[in-house]
Structure 1
């Protein structure tokens, strides 16, 4: 006879608000009072209450989540542990200097945005593709705060069986938000899938900050040219 209990921390992986994988350490006690620590993995569909043991014959979406995201998460944890305060501060400063409230407002006031791509929620008026990147613009209206989004097509869809269709993009959102002291600031957010959840990018997520800065540079270097082309066609 043996009993088991959860010990230490745990890891919860959730995709599309539906497919959940739970990883935790458990301690088993045998008759001779010896203890054994092991790793346990269970899964759940959020529409149900029961959890099930994740095994080789378990449904494909859960196996895909574990196989795809677990190694990436371990790599990310190792990377974060290697960061120092100076590096984090440096990239925070780079981001704040590169993307400002003034720059976002200036772009949102360009005719190409105000006259052509002025509806964030309409597919044909939300934005446009330029090379491998797509640019979306959200005007301040009602509860909507100013936003410029930059997306790029994903190429890892074969590894994500829970994504329907054969195309998807990830996006960086540059939002203007008002802090508690009444000052406007730019908040960087990341959306891993076109219809997925959006989360604020943390200061330690340097790779997201670096990519967002690079994407913003491409927009800033071409938006005035695209605006000029639009004005020529419009006139």
Structure 2
């Protein structure tokens, strides 16, 4: 009896070893889970649910097989794949979650987030986020041909890398006071998120009680997942062999 959490795989054709690791994870470690939660940035970029590339179709088919085998699978948008929509959900069998969702894990209420909105000192990113999450911006982008959207995705990735390279490390991490505010607002003592690529478990002082913030890791040289059992929470990592 266990529930698994992953995030920040950043699946991309340029990193076939991560795709292979993800598929092995689905049909091995995650095959007997009570549920699987993907907390954003499953993909490095998402240009729309109508993406017909062989790479995307292969991943869709694998997730559909996994969910159809009986494991409830949930997805929460990240900052890279926020355009995933209902069509993707229907074709894969996943359930889309709100960007802040409280779930009951073996009688413990837990707040789930991607984590980007917790980084309140990164004002430049938050302005960009507000733009790309607007319905008008998304409708305009999704009206473009796939080839145009693929080129836009390349430009946005390059822009993101350039912006992040110039930012101080603390700007790209969560704001502690925002973590406390979110946990108190949702009346939880557990928070699980990704985004920062800094896997760890942190004690959080909630004033009248003590809580915990668990940060999922990104997938690169190693993969990460959180394994939650009724009496044990384990942040697990495993090696990912390089592409041959």
Kindly name which structure, 1 or 2, has the bigger radius of gyration based on alpha carbons: 1
TM-score using structure 1 length: 0.25
The structure with the largest strand share of the pair is 1
Q: Structure 2 length as normaliser, TM-score?
A: 0.24
Question: Greater relative contact order: 1 or 2 (C-alpha under 8 angstroms, separation 6 or more)?
Answer: 2
